[in-house]
Chain A
Amino acid sequence: MTDSSTSDIFNGASNNNHLPTQEEDVLAALRTLLFNPEQIETSEQQTGEKNTSPNLEEDVLEQLRTLIFSPDDAQVDNVQQQSSQKNPAANPDEDVLGELRSLLVGDDYQKLTKLQERLDDPKLYAADLSQVLAEAIILRSLQDQQLAKALVPSIEEAIKVSVRKDFKILANALFPVMGPAIRKAIASALNVMMQSLNQTLNHSFSPQSFKWRLEARQTGKSFAEVVLLRTLLYRVEQVFLIHKETGLLLQHVVAKAVTTQDGDLVSAMLTAIKDFVHDSFHVHQSDTLETLHFGELTIWIEEGPQAILAGVIRGNAPQEVRAVFHDAIESIHLEQSNILHSFDGNTTPFEACRPYLEGCLLVQFEVKEPKPKNQKLIIGSVLGAILIAVGPWLFLYIRDQQRWANYLEKLNAERGIVVVSADKRHGKFFISGLRDPLAADPLMLISSANLSPAQVTSRWENYLSEAPKFVETRTKQVLQPPQSVSLKVDNNAILYATGYASAEWIAESKKLVQLIPGVNKVYLNIVDTDLRELESAKKKIENYEVHFLNGTQLLPSQDSKIQSLVKEIQKLSNSAQSINKGIRIQIVGHTDAGGSENANITLSQARAQKVLSMFVSQGLKATNFTTQGVGSREPLPDNLSKQGKIFNRRVSFKVFLTDTLNRKSDQR
């Protein structure tokens, strides 16, 4: 120990400008020597006095430390070292040491002692450690993997021990986790299978597969999924939640319109069956009854640690239904774990499980379709299906085409209609052409061809057809002939008119016929009805004969004859006048064959005059009459018998019609 070194130490310790007293200085120096020897070494290096006061001082300091802080050890050491070494501080009074201790470290020593005790006592140490263990583990885990590595063997061993002791504990703990994990693995395995199935099925070809493919595309499912789905038909009719140990029914749901037995009994019986199977066939403890088949009924049982879920299914359900069951029983266990554990027969809390059970009431219907037995049938069915699919359209298309052709044919055959263009665009028919107004109505033809008028758009321009039929009709329309006239137009467009008509009509027609289009030539052979009437009246008059007794004496009955004769002549005269005709009546006197001819001529002349005078006396104009006596030169056939002679003594009439104007009868 040197002054220089001490002063150095003081300098080092008085950084906070503290001015120590003498005692305190010594104590501080001692503290430094005892607790911070490194500082002294540093100062020694600075003064360049290496190894000048080495081990001796160090040993003394060490001994002092031992005496002060571990008095028991120090005493033992001192006994050993007494003979060989001179120690100034050997065997000091314990009180002195205690005082020195309290001077040097004060309260800190008490604290140190307590700390030591805590470290030495395992219970206290464990309690201390437990305070920081969790944080320590977290901190270490953040740093590296060493902790995990170190724990592996212990944990493995712990699991082994747990399983040996009671495997159910671990199984029950893992149950909610294992299910989803396993299903996930299986689902991915199934996925791969589905894909390969897809490839296989891609090559298959059937009408049904075509349909399914379509469905797959529409629904976004894989083809195989659709195939599996479509071949299944099932309905989950009832779901039971059963307490595993007691077989008591916890909850029961039933699909609509399903008749059921008493759920309590079914539940218990199902449990009994399970037990029976278990006992009877010596199966492994962990094996469970999973499926019961009875006709088309299947009971699927999903077992959890405390409860089982049983679904009664009609038909053939896919495995995904089982997955739904599994999910349900897992969820129920997760949520109702406590109630399940402490179940004492009270089923009311399990009302909460109803939604899970109802979620299991799944249903799937199959669309039944006949399956083709071989390739030919398949192709046949495909064609059939195509035919069925496009058949109605094809039928309508062909039918419409036929009707259209039929319509065009009819139009073309029709006189007075000229089709210029016929077309079909966007399922509609378009037609344009020329049409005589007298021709048939094309719209009527549309209906008669069974086409809908809405389907056909028509455009018709009017024209005049020269077909004889139309020329004839047109002529009739223009001339308006009376019924007694018949008009005909031949292929050379010559109009033949025959029959009777009034002179007026005839005259008018002659003018109009020139204006009718399509008539090249006219042959009129029409009898003037007025003339005809005159003619008959004339004949009627000419049939009259006035008979005489003797000389110019009329037979008594002839007066009335004269009367009616006068009327006829007046009528004829009037009629003739109306058509600008004149009449001239020749009154011819006759005698019988007796007597001389000269006398007879005279007599016959006198008889004619007699009748004329009678006519005039009746008001007829004498200018219209001429008289003539022909004696017996124009006798009647019987001129010899007495009766014949009487008939020959007569007056006959000849009527002549004359044209008063320049009117000429075509007849003549």
Chain B
Amino acid sequence: MIQKKICMVGAFATGKTSLVERFVKSIYSNIYHTTVGVKIDKKLVKFGEQELNLILWDIHGEDEFQKVRMSYLRGSSGYFLVVDGSRRYTLETAFSLQQRVEDAIGEVPFILILNKADLIDESEIDDAAMAELSQKNWTVIKGSAKTGLGVEEAFGTLAKKMLEA
């Protein structure tokens, strides 16, 4: 049995917990719960014969009062940078977080999820932002915890990346 630790990082209220809930339990709730500290879930994914046990560390969101503790990321084989597509600044937060995470644990596979893709009308990710993203050459997946869009894809892609790493 192969186990891997994955962290969810991002600004607060970007939908990290909802993405995990959607991925692990296939449910979505409109009620907002703020995560204090860290929440842990797990999901068994299969790639053919290979079973992979993902231990998901859903870390509290970052805001001006609380920085993400890098110690939680120690030992991660990969992570998600979660961005709320309807709030531009969460992308900035993701950029800075990515830098800090890389400083703390080194280069490991990660995926940026542009969450809340269902809120198309409210999208604040303009072309400039997209250009900035494509410049970084990161893996970016549009997703929605609400509709389930891109969720399986995101986790599957990261799992594959980790196994290949």
Cβ-based interface call for B3 (8 A): yes
A279 and B1: CB pair below 8 A? no
Roughly how many angstroms separate A265 CA and B40 CA in the complex, as a whole number? Answer: 6
Cβ-based interface call for A294 (8 A): no
Interface flags for A318-361 (1: CB within 8 Å of B; 0: not) read 00000000000000000000000000111110000000000000
Q: Which residues of B contact A584 (CB under 8 A)?
A: none
Residue in B closest to A266 when the chains form the complex, CB atoms: B40
Residue in A closest to B75 when the chains form the complex, CB atoms: A246
B71 and A345: CB pair below 8 A? no
Cβ-based interface call for A272 (8 A): yes
Cβ-based interface call for B93 (8 A): no
Min CB–CB distance A327 → chain B (angstroms): 26
Please tell me which one of the listed residues A248, A264, A276 contacts residue B69 in the complex, with CB atoms under 8 A apart. Answer: A276
Min CB–CB distance B109 → chain A (angstroms): 13
Cβ-based interface call for B120 (8 A): no
Cβ-based interface call for A269 (8 A): yes
B38 and A246: CB pair below 8 A? no
Please tell me which one of the listed residues A246, A276, A279 contacts residue B5 in the complex, with CB atoms under 8 A apart. Answer: A246
A248 and B42: CB pair below 8 A? no
B37 and A248: CB pair below 8 A? no
Cβ-based interface call for B55 (8 A): yes
Roughly how many angstroms separate A234 CA and B132 CA in the complex, as a whole number? Answer: 60
Please tell me which one of the listed residues A248, A265, A278 contacts residue B75 in the complex, with CB atoms under 8 A apart. Answer: A248
A272 and B37: CB pair below 8 A? yes
Interface flags for A237-280 (1: CB within 8 Å of B; 0: not) read 00000011111110000000000001011001100100110110
Roughly how many angstroms separate A344 CA and B78 CA in the complex, as a whole number? Answer: 12
Cβ-based interface call for B74 (8 A): yes
A248 and B55: CB pair below 8 A? yes
Interface flags for B52-88 (1: CB within 8 Å of A; 0: not) read 0101010000000000010110111100000000000
Interface flags for B74-109 (1: CB within 8 Å of A; 0: not) read 111100000000000000000000000000000000
Min CB–CB distance A276 → chain B (angstroms): 6
A345 and B77: CB pair below 8 A? yes
Roughly how many angstroms separate A27 CA and B85 CA in the complex, as a whole number? Answer: 104
**B residues 125-150 in Cβ contact with A at 8 Å:** none
Roughly how many angstroms separate A114 CA and B49 CA in the complex, as a whole number? Answer: 66
Roughly how many angstroms separate A623 CA and B108 CA in the complex, as a whole number? Answer: 165
Please tell me which one of the listed residues B42, B72, B74 contacts residue A265 in the complex, with CB atoms under 8 A apart. Answer: B42
Q: Which residues of B contact A265 (CB under 8 A)?
A: 40-42, 55
Known A248-B5, A279-B69, A347-B1: A269·B40 in contact at CB below 8 Å: yes
A279 and B71: CB pair below 8 A? yes
Q: Which residues of B contact A243 (CB under 8 A)?
A: 75
Residue in A closest to B44 when the chains form the complex, CB atoms: A264
Min CB–CB distance A251 → chain B (angstroms): 11
A275 and B75: CB pair below 8 A? no
Roughly how many angstroms separate A276 CA and B72 CA in the complex, as a whole number? Answer: 8
Q: Which residues of B contact A262 (CB under 8 A)?
A: 42
Known A247-B75, A262-B42, A345-B77: A268·B5 in contact at CB below 8 Å: yes
Per DSSP, chain A at the interface is: mixed
Q: Which residues of B contact A347 (CB under 8 A)?
A: 1-3
Please tell me which one of the listed residues B37, B40, B69, B71 contacts residue A268 in the complex, with CB atoms under 8 A apart. Answer: B40
B42 and A278: CB pair below 8 A? no
Interface flags for B4-44 (1: CB within 8 Å of A; 0: not) read 11000000000000000000000000000000011011100
Per DSSP, chain B at the interface is: strand
Roughly how many angstroms separate A186 CA and B4 CA in the complex, as a whole number? Answer: 39
Known A276-B69, A279-B71: A247·B5 in contact at CB below 8 Å: yes
A348 and B1: CB pair below 8 A? yes
Min CB–CB distance A237 → chain B (angstroms): 20
Residue in A closest to B37 when the chains form the complex, CB atoms: A276
Min CB–CB distance A349 → chain B (angstroms): 11
A346 and B57: CB pair below 8 A? no
B76 and A246: CB pair below 8 A? yes
Q: Which residues of B contact A279 (CB under 8 A)?
A: 69, 71
Known A262-B42, A268-B57: A275·B72 in contact at CB below 8 Å: yes
Roughly how many angstroms separate A249 CA and B55 CA in the complex, as a whole number? Answer: 10
B57 and A264: CB pair below 8 A? no
Q: Which residues of A contact B72 (CB under 8 A)?
A: 272, 275
Min CB–CB distance A384 → chain B (angstroms): 56
Residue in B closest to A272 when the chains form the complex, CB atoms: B38
Q: Which residues of B contact A276 (CB under 8 A)?
A: 37-38, 69
Residue in B closest to A248 when the chains form the complex, CB atoms: B3
Min CB–CB distance B161 → chain A (angstroms): 13
Min CB–CB distance A69 → chain B (angstroms): 64
B74 and A264: CB pair below 8 A? no
Min CB–CB distance A285 → chain B (angstroms): 12
Most chain B CB inside 10 Å of its own CB: which residue of A246, A247, A278, A345: A345
Residue in A closest to B42 when the chains form the complex, CB atoms: A264
Interface flags for A271-295 (1: CB within 8 Å of B; 0: not) read 0100110110000000000000000
Roughly how many angstroms separate A506 CA and B163 CA in the complex, as a whole number? Answer: 132
Roughly how many angstroms separate A262 CA and B41 CA in the complex, as a whole number? Answer: 10
Q: Which residues of A contact B76 (CB under 8 A)?
A: 246
Q: Which residues of A contact B75 (CB under 8 A)?
A: 243-248
Min CB–CB distance B10 → chain A (angstroms): 17
Min CB–CB distance A464 → chain B (angstroms): 102
Residue in B closest to A245 when the chains form the complex, CB atoms: B75
Roughly how many angstroms separate A264 CA and B76 CA in the complex, as a whole number? Answer: 15
Min CB–CB distance B8 → chain A (angstroms): 13
**A residues 206-247 in Cβ contact with B at 8 Å:** 243-247
Roughly how many angstroms separate A495 CA and B1 CA in the complex, as a whole number? Answer: 115
Roughly how many angstroms separate A272 CA and B72 CA in the complex, as a whole number? Answer: 6
Known A243-B75, A246-B77, A279-B69: A272·B40 in contact at CB below 8 Å: yes
Interface flags for A521-544 (1: CB within 8 Å of B; 0: not) read 000000000000000000000000
B42 and A272: CB pair below 8 A? no
Min CB–CB distance B103 → chain A (angstroms): 16
Roughly how many angstroms separate A243 CA and B77 CA in the complex, as a whole number? Answer: 13
Q: Which residues of A contact B37 (CB under 8 A)?
A: 272, 276
B3 and A275: CB pair below 8 A? no
B3 and A345: CB pair below 8 A? yes
A278 and B77: CB pair below 8 A? no
Roughly how many angstroms separate A188 CA and B12 CA in the complex, as a whole number? Answer: 55
Residue in A closest to B76 when the chains form the complex, CB atoms: A246
**A residues 119-172 in Cβ contact with B at 8 Å:** none
Min CB–CB distance B39 → chain A (angstroms): 9
Please tell me which one of the listed residues B4, B38, B42 contacts residue A345 in the complex, with CB atoms under 8 A apart. Answer: B4
Please tell me which one of the listed residues B2, B5, B71 contacts residue A346 in the complex, with CB atoms under 8 A apart. Answer: B2
Roughly how many angstroms separate A427 CA and B1 CA in the complex, as a whole number? Answer: 74
Min CB–CB distance B49 → chain A (angstroms): 14
Roughly how many angstroms separate A264 CA and B5 CA in the complex, as a whole number? Answer: 11
Min CB–CB distance A399 → chain B (angstroms): 71
Roughly how many angstroms separate A605 CA and B109 CA in the complex, as a whole number? Answer: 173
Q: Which residues of A contact B3 (CB under 8 A)?
A: 246, 248-249, 264, 345-347
Roughly how many angstroms separate A279 CA and B66 CA in the complex, as a whole number? Answer: 13
A275 and B77: CB pair below 8 A? no
Roughly how many angstroms separate A174 CA and B29 CA in the complex, as a whole number? Answer: 52
Known A264-B53, A346-B2: A275·B40 in contact at CB below 8 Å: no
Can you list 12 A-B contacts with CB-CB less than 8 angstroms, sorted by A residue number?
A246-B76, A247-B5, A247-B75, A272-B37, A272-B57, A275-B69, A275-B72, A275-B74, A276-B38, A278-B71, A345-B4, A346-B3
Given contacts A247-B57, A264-B53, A272-B72, 8 further A-B contacts (CB under 8 A): A246-B3, A248-B75, A265-B55, A268-B42, A272-B40, A275-B69, A275-B72, A276-B38
Enumerate the 9 nearest inter-chain pairs by beta-carbon distance, A residue then B residue, closest first.
A246-B75, A245-B75, A275-B71, A268-B40, A272-B38, A248-B3, A345-B2, A246-B5, A345-B3
